[in-house]
Structure 1
Amino acid sequence: MQTIKLREEFIKLGQVLKAGGLVDSGVDAKFVIQDGLVKVNHEVEYQRGKKLVAGDIVEYNGEQIKIEK
């Protein structure tokens, strides 16, 4: 499981996928999220702009990223 440290109060879901190297671009993030392939805290998430905070876990394509403060 990868971790991403927050620099601010939150980070958006699309940014997490890019920062974690799970997608190559914001456009790719948009499509995998719209297609229902991404989970946040074990539930499918369809909002690319979903604000994630410390403790949230993102899952995509067999990979997981935990958000830390």
Structure 2
Amino acid sequence: MDVMEKNSSYITLGQFLKLKDFVQSGGEAKHLIHTFSIQVNGEDDNRRGRKLYVGDEVVINGHKYVISDTNEDS
């Protein structure tokens, strides 16, 4: 399992896809987000504007990530 660190109070699913190199740009995320199998906290979700907060679990095509705060000890 990978831990994703962030600096603001939330990150959008589209931004997360870019940071994890599933897409190269926001425009690409807009067009390709429906091609991925995505669950947020156990529920299917493919809204690129979905806000992800500390503690959220995201599974993309079987790869699990946990959103964490950069100040948190891992």
TM-score by length of 2: 0.74
Tell me the residue number matched to 1:8.
8
RMSD of aligned Cα (Å): 1.8
Distance 1:29 1:38 in 2: 13
- 4+ long deviations beyond 6 Å: none
Q: Secondary structure of 1:29's partner?
A: helix
- Alignment pair present for 1:42 and 2:42: yes
| Percentage of identical aligned residues | 38
Structure 1 letter corresponding to 2:17: L
Unaligned 5+ residue runs, structure 2? Answer: 70-74
TM-score by length of 1: 0.79
Structure 2 letter corresponding to 1:61: N
Larger radius of gyration: 2
Aligned positions of 1:1-69 closer than 5 A: 1-35=1-35, 37-69=37-69
